[in-house]
């Protein structure tokens, strides 16, 4: 790529050096050049900050007795997008190498470069800077796309785990979180509590006020629950229909009962009218609470079953109340195991009886009827 027209600023306090550079640039007409000159850094900064577009800076390092790369650092910090070629009477290769490492496009020793050398250096510097700017723009675009992709993935994850109606977690999220917390607390030997919450007489509410009002009611109830169970580890989920589940890690039964009572009170305070409720004139909720220190020998579902049984009892006892499971989950597990064993034994007994009924004996032979 060849520049069509370049505006170059030379910052140098030696007029003779400026004229030499001007003459060298005028020898070839490969590309037109406008050479602007400032004899000190302050006026150079003013020009760079003006509306004049400067494509490149030729910078003398020894203005007003300064030494080292201090002037270059000042220019490079203030105008990082403008390429800089250093002109110096110092032929120290270590200084030249350091200047290039720190961002200078080239380092030319005064009196030792030709017109073609100078023009080639300028052209390459402008092209390199153009490529760097293009690369930087592409990197910014990639960064922006990466951020958009991350946001889209977050939104997709929310669509997968968030209930669209109530904006709390959905059943899938509940299942995954419950199992994860059970396994974690099983290792840590800490309690896990579960609250099952059901809106009282919700079918009658829908029949009376309509499904749109029912949706609004569920959203309000969900947010009321989330307002109470607000620890980072707590998980509020819509379990199904008008039923919600609240996972409370590292919470014993007493703590879970306090949370459940707070949820019940907060739902009452919503004062959502419900004229066909048996518990009063407003929407209420029944809650079942169960707690267990997870054990690898106990099925995780036993805690859900215990909370469900407690919720059933709360409804049976008049609703708008908190009920706990009276037996621990281990007892419930043993009871369920005994029930399964009993059913298995009964099935085996029936199967044996059926086989005996089908057997017939005949002298010298054993055969099955039919």
Catalytic residue numbers, as ranges: 242
Per-residue CA distances from 136 to 26, 103, 129, 142, 150 (Å): 33, 15, 10, 10, 21
Report strand pairing: 6-11 vs 243-249. Answer: unpaired
351: left (phi over 0), alpha (psi -120 to 50) or beta: alpha
Strand partners, 366: 361
Calpha distance 228→232 (Å, rounded): 12
**Residue 108 burial (CB count, 10 A):** 18
The rounded distance, in Å, linking the Cα atoms of 86 and 99 is 8
User: Strand 285-292 relative to strand 322-324: parallel, antiparallel, unpaired?
Assistant: parallel
Tokens 């597990």, residue located: 333
Instruction: Report the distance separating Cα 177 and Cα 231, nearest Å.
Output: 14
């Amino acid at each position: 790529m060849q520049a069509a027209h370049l505006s170059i600023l030379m910052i140098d306090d030696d007029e003779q050096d400026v004229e030499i550079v001007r003459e060298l640039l005028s020898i070839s007409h490969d590309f037109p050049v406008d050479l602007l000159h400032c004899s000190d850094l302050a006026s150079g900064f003013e020009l760079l900050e003006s509306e004049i577009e400067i494509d490149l800076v030729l910078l003398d390092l020894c203005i007003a007795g300064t030494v080292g790369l201090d002037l270059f650092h000042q220019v490079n910090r203030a105008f990082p997008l403008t390429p800089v070629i250093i002109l110096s009477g110092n032929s120290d290769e270590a200084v030249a190498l350091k200047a290039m490492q720190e961002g200078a496009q080239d380092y030319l020793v005064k009196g030792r470069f030709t017109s073609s050398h100078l023009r080639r250096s300028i052209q390459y510097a402008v092209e390199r800077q153009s490529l760097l700017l293009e690369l930087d723009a592409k990197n910014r675009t990639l960064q922006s796309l990466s951020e958009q992709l991350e946001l889209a993935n977050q939104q997709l994850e929310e669509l997968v785990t968030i209930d669209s109606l109530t904006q709390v977690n959905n059943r899938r999220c509940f299942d995954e979180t419950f199992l994860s917390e059970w396994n974690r607390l099983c290792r840590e030997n800490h309690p896990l509590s579960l609250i099952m919450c059901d809106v009282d007489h919700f079918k009658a509410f829908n029949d009376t006020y309509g499904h749109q009002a029912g949706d609004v009611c569920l959203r309000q109830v969900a947010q009321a629950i989330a307002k109470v169970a607000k620890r980072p580890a707590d998980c509020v989920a819509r379990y199904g229909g008008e039923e919600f589940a609240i996972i409370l890690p590292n919470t014993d039964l007493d703590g879970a009962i306090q949370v459940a009572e707070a949820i019940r009170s907060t739902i009452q305070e919503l004062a959502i009218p419900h004229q066909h409720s048996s518990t009063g004139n407003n929407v209420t909720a029944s809650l079942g609470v169960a707690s267990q220190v997870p054990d690898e020998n106990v099925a995780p579902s036993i805690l859900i079953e215990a909370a469900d049984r407690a919720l059933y009892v709360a409804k049976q006892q008049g609703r708008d109340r908190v009920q706990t499971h009276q037996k621990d989950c281990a007892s419930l597990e043993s009871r369920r195991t005994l029930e399964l064993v009993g059913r298995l034994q009964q099935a085996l007994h029936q199967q044996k009886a059926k086989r005996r009924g089908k057997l017939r004996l005949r002298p010298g032979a054993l055969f099955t009827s039919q």
